[in-house]
Amino acid sequence: MNITATQLKQDTHLLSYAKDEDIIITKRSKPFAVVIDYEKYMELTQDIQKAKIQKKLDALESLKSFHLGGKSYKEIKSEVKI
C-alpha cells in the first residue's frame, strides 16, 4: 500500500493495515518510510543473520585447504610472543 505522509497524518488508522501488507509512506512523491509488521521484521532480521552465519561458515570451510604446519591453532597461538 502506498500512502502519502499527509494521508497518514489525517488517517492514522491506515497503520492497522501493516499486519496484512507493507505500507510505503511517500513525501513529495518520494519514498519516505516503510512500515512492516513486527513479526515480518523479525523474520527478515533472522534471515539476514542466518545468511551472515552461513557466509562465515563457508569462509571457514574454504580455509580447510590451508595447513597449519602440523600444529593446531592453539599451539601456534601459544608460540606467539607479544
Domain residue spans in the chain?
A: 2-35, 37-66
Q: What is the pLDDT of residue 68?
A: 53
pLDDT at 59: 79
Rg (Cα) of the chain, in Å, rounded? 24
Top-confidence residue, 75 or 6: 6
Q: Is 0.75 topped by the overall pTM?
A: no
Q: What is the pLDDT of residues 62-79, one digit of tens each?
A: 776 555 556 666 776 677
Confidence of residue 49 (pLDDT cuts 50, 70, 90): very high
Sequence letter at residue 1: M
